[in-house]
Amino acid sequence: MAGLPDEPMNWIGRNIPRLEDPALVRGEGRFVADIAVGSRAVVFVRSPVAAGVIRGIEKPDLPRGVLVITGGDVAALKPIVPRLGRFNYVAIEQPILPRDRVHYVGQPVVAVVAPTQREAEDIADAVFLDIEPEQAVVDLDSAAGPGAPVVHPMAPTNTIVEGRIRTPGLDAVLAESTIVEIDVRSRRQNASPMETRGGAASFDKASGRVSLHASVQMPHMLRTGIADCIGMPEADLRVVAPDVGGGFGQKMSLFPEYVLLVWLARKYRTEVAWIEDRRENLIASAHSRDQHHIVRGAFDGQGVMRGLDVEILANIGAFSCYPTTCGVEPLMALAEYAGPYKVAEYGTHARGITTNTAVMAPYRGVSRPVVSFALERLMEVAAKRLNIDPIEIRRRNLVTVFPHRTPTNMVLDEASYLETMEKAVEVADLPGFRARQQAAREQGRYLGIGFSVINERTGYGTPAFAARSMEITPGYERVEICMTPSGEVEARIGASPHGQGLRTTLAQIIAEEVGVDVQRIRIIHGDTDRTPYGWGTFASRSLVIAGGASKLAAGKLAQKLKRAAAVLLQGEESQVRLEAGMALIPGGASISLDTIARTVYHSAGPISEKIGYDLNEAATYDPEGTFSNACHVAVVEVDAETGNTRILRYIVVEDAGRLINPMIVDGQVQGGVAQGIGNALLEEIIYDADGNILTGSFADFIPPTMAEVPDIEVHHLATLTGATVLQAKGVGEGGSIAAPAAVINAICDALQPFGVQLFEMPATPQRVRAAIRAAQETSP
Amino acid sequence: MKPAAFAYHRPETRAEALALLAEHGEEAKIIAGGQSLVPAMNFRLARPPILIDINAVPGLDGVREEAGQLVIGARTRHATFEKPVTAGPLGTLLARVAANIAHTPIRSRGSWGGSVSHADPASEWCCVTRGLEAELVAESATGRRSIPAADFFQTIFTTALRPDELLAEIRLPLFGPDWHCGFAEYARRAGDFALAMAVVACRVEGGVIREARVGLGGIASTPVTSPEAVAALLGQAPSPALFAAAGAAGAAATDPDGDIHASGEYRQDLVKAMIRRALVQAFA
């Protein structure tokens, strides 16, 4: 089933250089901070305490042209309240600026507006927040336990969302199997996009409208959310996501800062801009993956996992993110724990716990990096316990018959779970590695190899979100396409790329259908005035869904062009082919598409009877979703004296179905792996017991640099799925989903002589060292 | 990320710089490379009302050899040491150390004198200055004095320099060919502040170590020496077992501070490993 596409194509499958890059490498991109030049600067004064009552706010003497806005000034703004229809969801409210209490360090409390950034920072520095601190609850397990301080009175147990799934036969299987139990902890992450958040709002006196340029992933949704909070017509607000320097999920959510920018611009009929600095981004944007899982696998004597029973806690922070809600992490773990493995009996219990910490929001892979880490560690521990080779135990458990319905009713479409693993074993030369590992051990060096097999749910439409009972169900995408009178193709998309190269890949898809060069295709995105309503870019969806809609819309345009060509060439529509900017009848006459376009718009005449007066088409696509898959292999050397891990080799065998632009796919995989390596080894947001954040700069929250990320070899298999119109699968998150498990499995393999098993990510050097020390103390 | 307001002076002679220091004293902060000061100011963790920029003052750069010492001008940039500045073990050692300091842009701007005046206990030059028992020469409008490294570092970010003093030179002993020097540190990423570091220098005569210096950094409020590691080395023939024993002796005598990256216990492990590795390098 895995094989290469059989039909030769003109544009799809080619490594054409990204169309967006020339402007970016020349420094001619337009990011929010470029657009903000000349606006008044907005600086937020943020809560210095994690929990407390606001007694008063002392303002300094204000120079002319300076505003200091507090919660009392914006009392008319509605709070942010995302909703879920079930799962015992408590609809907590996030104020735009609080009037009475603060809930986490970094919460915006006061907005200062001044002519320049420097003046705004000076005034912000002189604002005094008189807050009476109260006892904060920070730690996940403490917050979930009895007697914890209550963060929101409407949620007396701090549980905001709770789901439970249990198949009827689970208890029987647990009773009669070998139970392998592991306790898995994932520490808090920050997605750390290269460009931080930011927005520039400008009021147009003539129309009364506000334009908000913002570094976001979901411009249409942001417009809806802001208009709802302010109580203004959506038509009076234009949201534009210009060039966006990465998002990884952090830029999906509606943040109070954006509501306030639009409110300021509208109320004071002016231009205001806020550009987040790195410290704010680390402290006050959105965090993720602060989770604790207790995983019990029920194995038979052959190593077949017959049941899975998991308890999941997720720290959702102080408020619930909009629009996904804070269910996004716990409910994903609830439903998707089986990953690529077939398991008949399934039980999960997941809770989202509120604490006095920054808000949790989606981050590349959401819960799946943690779930994959847990499952892949479970496979290793079970293999050891049952004395089965760790590759063999996976062979016995991976899904190999498709479509496969999971215990939670998801359908896994055609994929290559087993084949990617076998290929990875071959590429990694496992026997050769074992020999090198042995030789190294004899010299006191510890090499290890780690495998991680994952599937990645991608390109899912509205049904998947409806299944989570979200009030707002993202999913479909619409593409409006037209050919201009001079023959270029313009496609207006609801999706909103932020670095993925979508302008290039969508152009390739359209070029394939319409037969024009990619250079003559313009992808128009990110502007609510110029694009149809859509959901933006997240959940490994854009290529599949916006790409699918592009293919459908471009197919309609191609039909229209063929119909017009048939009239002009006096042939049969079915004979017309579109190629290299021409419509031609094989062995007969031809005409350029430019001429057809000019004729349709300007000399309609007889053609109008056949095709009307324009070359506009549109399509909407809302698929069920498809699962891409991969096997990752990390080869590491662990320094037993320092606990340091160096990655010597990193291999990915990926199956993303049909590749539109393999170079872009490789880039997605490599970027994801780099973030996964950060998760595995380096990155951790740390709070002290009072809720003060200790990792407020890149000196303390430490993403990997070029020195820590090795070359990443990417190999491809291609299962051409029938689940999507392009036969393509999404590939945005797999790198970060699989990497932590591969790296930490490799560390444990390296430290086999010590018997070290790690279940916490990141596996920082001090944690590795502590594990070695503990192992040496227990078995001298 | 804008600093609080400050006044800025850029003197063009040493006398002018010293006069400004005499006038403004504690109000003033000297800026050379600015690689620690400017970020601290942008975070508003440091709010000096007055900056005295010494980059236009002549005669503060460069190294020279004088009376058995390597004399380093306080404004000499880290990058100067990437290649040996002197023949013999010291030049090689300093090049090895320089490679561990942050990244190329920081090394091309940051200065030795700025680094030791800032007195970050995780600074490589502070560790070398203390470990090799350097002398530091300070100048003020009223005179010039030499301060031994043992007295110079008082606590974190605090030195014996008076508010009216400018650090002019650092003087390190020039080791002869019978000396063996090494340096090792552990940082979580390339270029990060080290969690622990060790510098060693040993003089070998007749196959045994007759003199030794061991300095440690990143583990306490100042750089420190390790008399215990020195004691373990003296009178012994260099060997892997000796290096490990010296590491263990040095580590056992420390009680390092813990932070988010390294608990005290973990730092002790690192001290042990870094002393051993510095010795292995010294005798490689």
How do residues A620-666 score in pLDDT, each as one tens digit? 999 999 999 999 999 999 999 999 999 999 999 999 999 999 999 99
Proportion of chain A above pLDDT 90, given as a percent: 93
Q: Is A2 helix (H, G, I), strand (E, B) or coil?
A: coil
Sheet containing strand A712-717, edge to edge, reads A446-458, A626-639, A644-655, A712-717
> Chain B partners of A118 at a C-beta cutoff of 8 Å?
2
pLDDT in tens, B90-140: 999 999 999 999 999 999 999 999 999 999 999 999 999 999 999 999 999
At A616, is the pLDDT very low, low, confident or very high (cuts 50, 70, 90)? very high
The pairs formed by A15-18 with CB atoms below 8 angstroms and a separation of 24 or more are A15/A661, A15/A662, A15/A663, A16/A504, A16/A508, A16/A518, A16/A661, A17/A504, A17/A663, A18/A501, A18/A503, A18/A504, A18/A664
Q: Which of B224, B223, B262, B231 is nearest to B248 (CA)?
A: B231
Beta-carbon contacts of residue A553 (< 8 Å; ≥ 6 apart)? A479, A480, A481, A491, A617, A618, A619
Angle separating helix axes A734-750 and A368-386, nearest 10 degrees: 30
Are residues B262 and A766, on separate chains, in Cβ contact within 8 Å? Answer: yes
Helix (H) or strand (E) holding B272: helix B264-282
Q: Provide the token pair at B272.
A: 């042990």
CA dist A229 and B71 (Å) reads 66
* Whole-number pLDDT of residue A2: 39
Assess contact for A650 and A634: CB atoms under 8 A.
yes
Q: Is the pLDDT of residue A32 over 70?
A: yes
Our CA-based measurement puts residue B4 at a distance from the nearest CA of chain A, in whole angstroms, of 7
Residue A535 region by backbone torsions, left for phi larger than 0, else alpha for psi between -120 and 50, else beta: alpha
Are residues A770 and B5, on separate chains, in Cβ contact within 8 Å? Answer: no
* Whole-number pLDDT of residue A779: 65
Q: Which domains does chain A have, with CATH numbers?
A: 21-28+476-621 (3.30.365.10), 32-134+197-275 (3.90.1170.50), 291-462+624-778 (3.30.365.10)
* Whole-number pLDDT of residue A3: 40
Domains B7-53 and B179-282 share a fold: no
Q: Provide the token pair at B192.
A: 């990060």
pLDDT in tens, A46-105: 999 999 999 999 999 999 999 999 999 999 999 999 999 889 999 999 999 999 999 999
Helices (H), A104-192: 117-126, 140-144, 170-176
CA dist B255 and B267 (Å) reads 9
At A8, is the pLDDT very low, low, confident or very high (cuts 50, 70, 90)? low
Assess contact for A634 and A647: CB atoms under 8 A.
yes
Pairing of strands A489-493, A521-524: parallel
CA dist A482 and A489 (Å) reads 6
CA dist A387 and A385 (Å) reads 6
pLDDT in tens, A138-170: 999 999 999 999 999 999 999 999 999 999 999
Residue A728 region by backbone torsions, left for phi larger than 0, else alpha for psi between -120 and 50, else beta: beta
At A5, is the pLDDT very low, low, confident or very high (cuts 50, 70, 90)? very low
Q: Is the pLDDT of residue A6 over 70?
A: no
pLDDT in tens, A240-286: 999 999 999 999 999 999 999 999 999 999 999 999 999 999 999 99
Q: Provide the token pair at A621.
A: 């696509």
- What's the CATH number of domain B7-53, 3.40.640.10, 3.30.43.10, 2.60.40.1220, 3.90.1010.10? 3.30.43.10
Let me know if A156 is exposed, middle or buried by CB neighbors in 10 A (0-12, 13-18, 19+).
exposed
Helix (H) or strand (E) holding A437: helix A430-442
Q: Provide the token pair at A641.
A: 């004296």
Helix (H) or strand (E) holding B242: helix B240-252
Nearest to B189 among A277, A702, A766 (CB): A702
Assess contact for A307 and A130: CB atoms under 8 A.
no
Per-residue pLDDT, averaged over A386-413, amounts to 97
Q: What CATH architecture applies to the domain B179-282?
A: 2-Layer Sandwich (3.30)
* Whole-number pLDDT of residue A465: 81
Q: Is the pLDDT of residue A369 over 90?
A: yes
CA dist A329 and A335 (Å) reads 10
Nearest to A695 among B191, B260, B263 (CB): B260
Per the prediction, chain B carries an average pLDDT of 97
Number of CB atoms found within 10 A of residue B235's CB: 10
Q: Which of A165, A134, A168, A131 is nearest to A151 (CA)?
A: A134
Q: How far is CA B177 from the centre of its chain?
A: 23
Q: Is the pLDDT of residue A668 over 90?
A: yes
Nearest to A125 among B4, B190, B276 (CB): B4
- The vertex-A740 CA angle with A736 and A744, nearest 5°, equals 165
Assess contact for A513 and A554: CB atoms under 8 A.
yes
For chain B, the domains span 7-53, 63-173, 179-282
Beta bridge partner(s), residue A632: A452, A652
Are residues A643 and B261, on separate chains, in Cβ contact within 8 Å? Answer: no
Q: Is A106 helix (H, G, I), strand (E, B) or coil?
A: coil
Helices (H), B88-237: 89-98, 104-109, 112-118, 124-131, 149-152, 227-233
Helix (H) or strand (E) holding A230: helix A219-230
Give the single-character DSSP code of A78: P
- What is the sign, positive or negative, of the torsion defined by CA atoms of A555, A560, A563, A569? negative
Residue A664 region by backbone torsions, left for phi larger than 0, else alpha for psi between -120 and 50, else beta: alpha
Given the structure tokens 């999507």, which residue do they identify? A724
Q: How far is CA A320 from the centre of its chain?
A: 17
Are residues A642 and B191, on separate chains, in Cβ contact within 8 Å? Answer: no
* Fold topology of B63-173: 3.30.465
pLDDT in tens, A495-532: 999 999 999 999 999 999 999 999 999 999 999 999 99
CA dist A179 and A370 (Å) reads 20
The answer to whether B2 faces chain A, any CB pair under 8 Å, is yes
> Chain A partners of B262 at a C-beta cutoff of 8 Å?
766
Residue A443 region by backbone torsions, left for phi larger than 0, else alpha for psi between -120 and 50, else beta: alpha
Q: Provide the token pair at B18.
A: 């010293």
Number of CB atoms found within 10 A of residue B45's CB: 8
Greatest alpha-carbon span in chain A: 93
> Chain B partners of A771 at a C-beta cutoff of 8 Å?
none
- E runs forming strands in A122-253: 128-133, 159-166, 178-186, 198-204, 209-214, 237-240
Our CA-based measurement puts residue A190 at a distance from the nearest CA of chain B, in whole angstroms, of 17
Our CA-based measurement puts residue B236 at a distance from the nearest CA of chain A, in whole angstroms, of 24
Are residues A705 and B189, on separate chains, in Cβ contact within 8 Å? Answer: yes
Q: Which of A623, A612, A622 is nearest to A560 (CA)?
A: A612
* Whole-number pLDDT of residue A463: 84
Pairing of strands A712-717, A644-655: parallel
Our CA-based measurement puts residue B157 at a distance from the nearest CA of chain A, in whole angstroms, of 17
Nearest to B260 among A686, A769, A773 (CB): A686
CA dist A344 and A478 (Å) reads 38
Give the single-character DSSP code of A17: P
Q: Is the pLDDT of residue A1 over 60?
A: no
Our CA-based measurement puts residue B37 at a distance from the nearest CA of chain A, in whole angstroms, of 15
The answer to whether B271 faces chain A, any CB pair under 8 Å, is no
pLDDT in tens, A710-725: 999 999 999 999 999 9
Query: Could you write out the DSSP letters of every residue in B62-83?
Result: -EEEETTEEEEETT-BGGGGGS
pLDDT in tens, A433-454: 999 999 999 999 999 999 999 9
Per the prediction, chain A carries an average pLDDT of 96
Q: Is the pLDDT of residue A350 over 70?
A: yes
CA dist A24 and A503 (Å) reads 13
The answer to whether B44 faces chain A, any CB pair under 8 Å, is yes
